[in-house]
Structure 1
Amino acid sequence: MGDWLVSIAGTPQGAQLATVLALVSAMAHAVFGALQKGKHDPWLMRGSIDGWLVVISAPVALFVVPWPNGQTFAILAGALVIHFAYKVTVAMAYERAAYTVVYPVIRGTGPLVTVLAASVLFHEHFTPAQWAGVACLSGAMLLLALRNLGEETLDRRGLQIGLVWALLGGMTVALYTVYDAWGIRQSANPFTFLAWFFFITALDFPLIAWARVRRYGAPGGIGSLLRRGAAGAVIAWVSFGGVMLATRLDKVGEAAVLRETSTVFAALIGWFILGEKVGPRRLFLMGLIALGAVIVEMGG
């Protein structure tokens, strides 16, 4: 299957599949983010997810896909560092501010930087209409975060700190999106890269989570934490794996923008599941996010 994916990269068929993968990734990532912000401490939740990622990915990496060469191992080492920075910034943001405030900031700052970087590194070029779509999507996400921030009255200092971490998180999103796209393109078999990516980049946070459990315990219960972590690991394969395959098949910038429709799904999750407020203004901004993604996809 890896050879088939490589063979359709850059073709109309590949572009169509990339669009589907990016949108599925968006839905999955919204659920993934909600898991980290839900019942459990975000550090423990991420540690549980990563622990299950190691368990799920190790057999695939060691016994199913071809082993990576030295260059791919070096790329994966860089990915470990970048994704560790991403996970830390996200955990800090989720720890200090509401999910519906920080999530749009994290996701909203990434697409513009990603598109700019992809134009330099991968020689991708957006049409004026597509740039308008990027502005519409990113601007609406940031306005959504500001709108949510305006209705938060408790712990304003914590919210401000959370927003700073969210902005840093958005920058790391752009960094890992471009880096991972470059990395998977260097691997002869994309599934080799994915299996080893999930195995290697998940080795860090289980150790952090274990140290925190020993020090603070596990509020909410170990059983619930492990069950949610298992679900999160499967969702991570769909979310991160889907968008990386999309960047292998088609333009990195377009895949990155389409994936950020996750903010729409995240707002709906915050509303229906986490019990956070959603009103007509938020719904309007969510519509603009979706519109921006449609413009990017149709304006090329």
Structure 2
Amino acid sequence: MAPSVVAIVLCGALLHAGWNALVKKGRDPFLSSVLVASGAGLISLPLLPFLAQPAAASWPYALASTIIHYAYYGLLAAAYRHGDMSHAYPLMRGSAPLLVALASVPLLGEHLSLTQYAAVACISGGIFGLWFATRAAGAGDEDASSRPRSSAYALLNALVIAAYTLVDGLGVRASTAPAAYVMWLHVLSAIGLLAWCLLRCARELRDYARQFWKVAILGGAGTLGAYGLALWAMTVAPLAAVAALRETSILFAALIAKFFLAERIGSKRAFAIAAIAAGAVLMRLA
């Protein structure tokens, strides 16, 4: 990867960790997720007329990804409802790169170098190490009985993340217009989630939005920027390599969890974070 691509992917990782923290901190993670998706859609909508539009070949991928993202937001909210961010986030983000790396070779014909495979393993291993350290320490206010449910939702979401990573990697390459492709994804996701809430909990969503409208603005900008930067990077670098480097968001998530969510970080988690950083260096040198 070129240094500029590495920097852009890391910036997207920081944005991703930030908007996840907003969802976790909110009173209702699902409604916070809806606000984040809606904010991204509202930001995207007025910009779309000024952008080159995605090629027709990319629309099946965009529609498939939109459906997958509905599952993503639901599982994300469920994982955070039943567990701490420091427990669920590493599990979700740590499993996905391995799944992407395994699937991209037969599906996309991509071949990673031994160094890149080592980087994927190092980053993912560090993230899992962070998760196990969190479990051993019993960090946060998470109740032990709720941890299995959080783990189950997080693992399911890892499959979802791997699925939309592969679908969007193909879609953005076929689109010839990465920015518009990403913005249409957020507009379509917002429409579906808002329609669901208007049918099921319109008053609750209205009251929640009045109180937490800043989540829509900050989270919407964060998720739009994070995913847009990642998809752009996928047009100039291997999917598995981008997906793995993007998982360094756990470095930023750990700091945000400590200072924003008041979670503790001990020596075991520090070693796990160091492993992730080493994996990022390997990916840079590959």
* Deviations, residues 17-72 of structure 1 (Å, cap 9, x unaligned): 322221111111110110110133111111111222222111222x2123445433
Question: Does the CA contact (< 8 Å) of 2:35 and 2:209 recur in 1?
Answer: no
Q: Percent identity?
A: 29
With the length of structure 2 as denominator, give the TM-score of the two structures: 0.92
| Residue pairs, 1:194-233, within 5 angstroms | 194-210=182-198, 211-212=200-201, 214=203, 218=207, 222-233=209-220
Counterpart of 1:246?
233
Distance in 1, matches of 2:202 and 2:83, equals 22
Question: Does the CA contact (< 8 Å) of 2:56 and 2:175 recur in 1?
Answer: no
Q: Where does the alignment leave 5 or more consecutive residues of structure 1 unmatched?
A: 1-11
Question: Does the CA contact (< 8 Å) of 1:119 and 1:125 recur in 2?
Answer: yes
Distance in 2, matches of 1:234 and 1:56, equals 7
Question: Does the CA contact (< 8 Å) of 1:47 and 1:207 recur in 2?
Answer: no
Question: Does the CA contact (< 8 Å) of 1:18 and 1:255 recur in 2?
Answer: no
Distance in 1, matches of 2:164 and 2:72, equals 8
1:80 CA displacement: 0.8
Distance in 2, matches of 1:216 and 1:84, equals 17
With the length of structure 1 as denominator, give the TM-score of the two structures: 0.88
Letter in 1 for 2:164: Y
Question: Does the CA contact (< 8 Å) of 1:65 and 1:192 recur in 2?
Answer: yes
Distance in 1, matches of 2:22 and 2:55, equals 34
Structure 2 CA distance for partners of 1:154 and 1:230, relative to 1, 3 Å: closer
Give the number of aligned pairs.
Answer: 283
Distance in 2, matches of 1:68 and 1:129, equals 34
1:118 CA displacement: 2.0
Question: Does the CA contact (< 8 Å) of 1:185 and 1:248 recur in 2?
Answer: yes
Tell me which of 243, 260, 270 is aligned to 1:256.
243
Question: Does the CA contact (< 8 Å) of 2:55 and 2:176 recur in 1?
Answer: no
| Residue pairs, 1:1-300, within 5 angstroms | 15-61=2-48, 63-152=49-138, 155-210=143-198, 211-212=200-201, 214=203, 218=207, 222-298=209-285, 300=286
- The SS at the match of 1:292 is helix
Question: Does the CA contact (< 8 Å) of 2:126 and 2:272 recur in 1?
Answer: yes
Distance in 1, matches of 2:257 and 2:177, equals 37
Letter in 2 for 1:150: A
- The SS at the match of 2:212 is helix
Distance in 2, matches of 1:261 and 1:66, equals 31
Distance in 2, matches of 1:58 and 1:163, equals 35
Distance in 1, matches of 2:202 and 2:259, equals 30
